[in-house]
Amino acid sequence: MPAAGGVGQSFAYASSVLSFAGQSLVRLVRSPSHSRRVEAARKLAFHWLLIAAIGGVVVVVLMYGLDAREIGLMPPRGSADLWPLRILTDFGKSEYVLGLLAMVLAVFAAISPRFRGASRVILIATGTRIQFLFLAVAIPVLAGDLIKGIVGRGRPFVGGEANAFNFSHFAWTPAYASFPSGHAITSFALAFAVAALWPRTRIVMLIYALVIIATRLILLAHHPSDVVAGGILGVVGAMFVRYWFAARHLCFSIDGRGAVKPLVGPSAEQLKRVAREALAP
């Protein structure tokens, strides 16, 4: 009988976790309800057009004027003294960033059914912000992977020479997956998303993103135009996800001018209190 009771409790807990995850998904896909979402959509469209116009010009100029030349300015490919950069660059790898965020989300889904009242509200609010970070990175990364395969731009020195116009469209191979840079997409999307939630982190997150794209150039993994295009795609994708959340009153609000502003989230003290509660015997 105790064994049967334990199985029943485990089943009930698993059902609670799945129910919590399902409710979170429903909140994300429900119809938008914010009264000022149209104004925000107009502002988003304007920013998209502006970024696309300026970014497109910059990418073309870099392709013709700097990409091939920049390769010759970098240290020799495979230099042994570049090992710190090979470690540092992985902080912008989408698999690692998304994997970490997914694990955090799984932890929140697993522990949330144990809480009630204010503690549960704090966990839901924090978990929603982690969901935003995950999707703000995942959406542009997926779009970037599609573009990589279609464009099929060769990485520096693929083909044996510094050729900025080495293309093999629809190749779907790592050697021809230079444009846009996946690390640049990930780092700029994450930087934008974190700064959108916590504006005081803007400078730190910008430095993080710039460091990541610098490692991609020094390691000769990408051309300058690749990282610029990746950064643009990362920011544009994260902007769309921010609008999606704001239109549903999740993490963000929209002011009278259509500007998206972060809602006040749980404080560090509140999170510490919940953590102590979770660790209590």
Q: What sign does the CA torsion over 33, 46, 66, 206 have? A: negative
Of the pLDDT bands very low, low, confident and very high (cuts 50, 70, 90), residue 265 is confident
Among 67-76, 78-87, 113-122, 211-220, where is mean pLDDT lowest? 113-122
Q: pLDDT tens for residues 160-185?
A: 777 889 999 999 999 999 999 999 99
Is 11 inside a domain boundary?
Answer: no
Two tokens, residue 142: 């997926």
247 within domain boundaries = yes
The residue among 184 and 267 whose pLDDT is bigger is 184
Give the total residue count for the chain: 281
Domain that holds residue 111: 34-72+84-157+167-279
- Could you give the number of structural domains in the chain? 1
pLDDT score for 138: 97
Quick check: 148 and 156 in contact, CB under 8 A? no
Residue 124, pLDDT score: 83
In a domain, residue 26? The reply is: no
Is 213 contained in some domain? yes
Asked whether residue 93 is domain-assigned, the answer is: yes
Per-residue confidence band for 1, with pLDDT thresholds at 50, 70 and 90? very low
Report helix, strand or coil for 266.
coil
Identify whether 112 is part of a domain.
yes
Q: Which residues pair with 167 in a beta bridge?
A: 153
